[in-house]
Amino acid sequence: MQNNRHYVPSPSFRAVAEIAQHVGRGMIVARFEGVRFPTGTVQVWELTPHAPASAHDDTALVVAVFLKGRGIDRWTPLDQGFEVAIAHFQGLAASAARRADEATPAIAVAA
């Protein structure tokens, strides 16, 4: 008896497949770092050629992956390097945290 259910990839699986198609064959995630926001996490991935004989040059490709809950919400390619991207998102996260703190009403404690 055959299984008639069709496999439907998850949104996270589809996002990883899109990233792989964008960067091309022979690229691997060399390093990544996450930056937490009040609404989710941004991971910055640096992808480099797996082998020196790869068709790619030695330039690393960088993408930002936006995680919400337990999966990938969306991703975007970045023009900047890994360290610059991390610093950029850390700055955005710090200002988002400040805005969240300012929006939280103070609770008066009765004396």
- Distance of alpha carbon 69 from alpha carbon 30, whole angstroms: 24
Q: What is the pLDDT of residue 101?
A: 75
CB atoms within 10 A of CB 83: 12
The alpha carbon of 110 is separated from its chain's Cα centroid by a whole number of angstroms, namely: 44
Q: Is the dihedral of CA 18, 19, 23, 25 positive or negative?
A: negative
pTM for this predicted structure: 0.78
Q: What is the CATH number of the domain that holds 90?
A: 3.10.450
In a domain, 43, yes or no: yes
| Per-residue tokens: 17 | 């497949």
DSSP string across 25-46: TTEEEEEEEEEEETTEEEEEEE
pLDDT tens per residue, range 9-25:
899 999 999 999 999 88
For the chain, the domain total comes to 1
In a domain, 108, yes or no: no
pLDDT tens per residue, range 55-106:
555 678 999 999 998 899 999 999 999 999 999 999 999 998 888 777 766 6
Domain span at residue 34 reads 11-103
